[in-house]
Amino acid sequence: MEKHQFALVAAGSKCSLGKVRAELGRATEGVELLRQGIAGALEIGMRPWFPFNKIWLVQAQAAEGAIVEALETVEQALQENTDEPLVLPATFLLRGELRLKQGQSEAAEADFRETLTLARSIGAKGWELRATTSLARLLRDTGRRDEARTMLADIYNWFTEGFDTAGLKDAKALLDELAT
């Protein structure tokens, strides 16, 4: 593709391949492909899908165990994408998960709550469910089980279908745990 000057296709393909490789346990290779794809996209001035690729890079870095590097990438993404309403909930949720891995519970909680605010403002129930599930786990782990159960039940009960999806299965398992 590159030799025929399909730079956009090449950049996008590298990013997609990098995401998949990271998900398949080849995180280091995924990180490198994502970096190449992002660099290629920037070279030709393609920013519209750039924020999503940065999210994939953060996920790949986290899968690689490079939590500090992933946090740095998340911070860059937040500075670069302050006006991307579809990307911001994902970015704050990722930052919260990374902060939680570093033992920064209060900062993680703030990020999860920011994700909830952003998701609600654009009607993104999927992001709201993910953020609520992450926040509910944190609340459970800090002795606030009732608050966790109430908020998770509220969003879970909003859904009327899709109960076989990973997000709703995860929420249901946590709800069942919190009920005991």
User: Residue 79: is its pLDDT beyond 90?
Assistant: no
Domains held by the chain: number: 2
Q: The domain containing residue 161 runs over which residues? A: 85-180
pTM: 0.88
Pair (64, 2) in one structural domain? yes
User: Residue 126: is its pLDDT beyond 70?
Assistant: yes
The pair phi, psi for residue 49, each rounded to 5°, is: -100, 5
Q: Where are the beta strands (DSSP E) in 17-169?
A: none
Query: How much is the pLDDT for 86?
Result: 80
**CATH number reported for the structural domain that contains residue 18 in this entry:** 1.25.40.10
Query: How much is the pLDDT for 4?
Result: 47
